[in-house]
Chain A
Amino acid sequence: MKKTIQIPLGSQHISLLEPIRFKFECENEKIIGVDADVGFVHRGVELACTRSFEFKQVGYVVARVCGLCAITHSLSYTLAVEKLLGYVANDRIKYLRMLMVELDRIHSHMLCLAHTAENAGFEALFMQIMGDRELIMDVQEAISGNRVQFDYISIGGVNRDLTPELVAMIHKNLGVLTSKIDALIGLFDNNWSLSLKYKGVGVLRLEDAYTYNALGPLARAAGLATDVRAETSDFPYEDIGYKMILESSGDIHARNFLRLREIVNSITMCQNIVNNLPVGEIQEKAKGKPNGEAVVRVEAPRGELFYLVRGSGQNMLDRVRIKTPTFSAIPAMIEVFKGAEYADAPAILASFDPCMSCTAK
Chain B
Amino acid sequence: MTDLFVDSYPKQARVVRSAFLTAYIALGIGALFGVLQALHRTDILRLVESPTYYTILTGHGVFLVITFTIFFLVGLYQWAVTDSLGRGPVDMRLTWAWYGLMSSGTLLAAIAILAGFLDDPPTVLGSELSADVLFTFYAPLQANPIFYVGLVLFVVGTWLAGADWFRTWWSWKQENPDARIPLPTFMVLTTMIMWYISSIGVAVSILAFILPWSLGLTGSLNPTLTRTLFWYFGHPVVYFWLLPAYLLWYTVLPKLSGGRLFSDPLARVVFILFILLSTPVGIHHQYLDPGISDGFKFIVMTNTMFLLLPSFLTAFTVVASMEHGARQRGGDGYFNWLQALPWRDPAFTGMSLAGVVFAFGGFTGIVNAGMNINYLVHNSLWVPGHIHTQVGTAVALTFMAGSYWLVPQLTGNRLVGRDVALVQVVLWFVGIVFMTNSMYRGGLIGIPRRSAEPQYDFDYEIAVGSIPEIRAQLAIGGVLLFVSAMLFLVLILLTAFNDDSEPIVDGTIPPALSGPEDSPRVLDDLRVWIAIALVLVAIAYAFPLANIVSRGGLFGPDIGPFPVVVETVASVLSTTDTGMYLEALVETES
A and B are interacting partners: no
